[in-house]
Amino acid sequence: MPYLKTGLHYRAVARQVILNGGQVDDEDDALAACDFPMGLLGEPHLRSELVADLASRVAVFPSVRQALFQRQWIFAHRKGGAVLEGRDIATVIAPDADAKIFVTANPDVRLRHRFNELLEMEYPIELKELAAEVTARDYRDESRDQAPLRMCRDAILIDTSGLAPREAVSTAVGLIRNGHRSHLH
């Protein structure tokens, strides 16, 4: 099934702002960067903590969210279905989705996973610095005016704190297959 991690779109916008010589805190610069080349989505720099931080800064702009909405909506509503991962999929992009899953984990577990991911990429960062960046990013995402991070009332909650990635996916697939869908067409 086609899969889209929508956060990569915001990371690509942030990266494109930098490539354009703009400022991520300038809404016009961020909006202009929404026309990024699709090849940018595969760039390794998008996984860096710097770009992750910048992405949450461009994501606060309503014009940026609206510009990316259409791409994401079209992907979500393709014939045969799709899987989307993102912070506003069930509340904004596809509130009519057949299955909505809200994945969470203990903050310490999330921090450890992100730290290990960055170590694998050989991205140098101190754990204390990463903790501050992740906390700030979560706060921005939860408190932004447009499309804040929140669980919709009909989503399935999966806490992955004690699960390996394969176990988390298996849990989600099992719940969906067993009819624990949040909304059926």
Angle at 22 between CA 48 and CA 36, to 5 degrees: 65
pLDDT in tens, 115-171: 998 888 888 889 999 999 889 888 988 998 888 889 999 999 999 999 998 999 999
Architecture of the domain defined by 3-177: 3-Layer(aba) Sandwich (3.40)
Split at pLDDT 50, 70, 90, the class of 3 is very high
Amino acid at 74: I
pTM of the model: 0.81
* Cβ contacts of 134 within 8 Å, gap of 6 or more: 107, 110, 111, 114
pLDDT in tens, 14-66: 999 999 999 999 999 999 999 999 999 999 989 888 899 999 999 999 999 99
Give the other-Cβ count within 10 Å of 131's Cβ. Answer: 15
Contact 59, 39 (CB under 8 A): no
Domain residue extents for the chain: 3-177
Contact 86, 142 (CB under 8 A): no
Amino acid at 162: G
